[in-house]
Amino acid sequence: MKPAPYADLSVAYADTSASGLGFSLTAPLQEPLAQADGEVAGLPVSLRLLGASHQVLVGQHPQRHGQLLETVACLPEVTSDLPSSFQESGYYFNARTETMDDDGLTAAVADIVAEVDDHHRRGLPALLGRFPGSPLALTAIVAGPGTGDPGSEVLITWRTWHTYPQTGEVVVTSSSLWRQGVAHNRTQA
């Protein structure tokens, strides 16, 4: 069994509300606070938690072409707002922000933990980081193969959750990489 997918992070989260998050496919690789590496559909996948949210690296070594690096974070290098959807070169991304009361957020966090546990039990890449100050402050990422339907062109999917207990927000993202997207060029926005 792989190491437990949980990390107690020792730094406060840098983005303090959903509106602070940005999106990039060109930001540089950041030093993670926690990381889980694995393989999905024959491709290496690195799930990376930052003090300002997440990066997901799919494909080859970051110094070479042929990989995709998704960044959702509050960083100086990330100047684009978080889009509700984005599609390019076989890659699809969507995001939504849900607002809820404390009970709703507690239930949402329990569901997120269950999802991370399920991926981990199945040997799939999964990572959950808890930030200090609130048991409801977390960022989580899970990755897995495409739908498995015959003829499906989806290679890899991943989902993330960013919770903000101080504002009662949960940012949920989902991404997929299709067969033609494996050779995504990092110089594209």
Does residue 139 register a pLDDT over 70?
Answer: yes
Residue 184: name the closest of 73, 76, 57, 79 by CA: 57
Return d(Cα 124, Cα 58) in angstroms, integer: 14
* Cβ burial 10-37 (10 Å sphere, 16+ → b, else e): eeebebeebeebbbbbebeebebbbebe
pLDDT tens, residue by residue, 104-125: 999 999 999 999 999 999 999 9
pLDDT band at 148 (very low <50, low <70, confident <90, very high): low
Q: What ranges make up the beta strands (E) of 52-90?
A: 53-59, 67-73, 80-81, 85-88
Position 14 scores a pLDDT of 62
Does residue 63 register a pLDDT over 70?
Answer: no
pLDDT band at 66 (very low <50, low <70, confident <90, very high): low
Residue 116: name the closest of 154, 147, 142, 143 by CA: 142
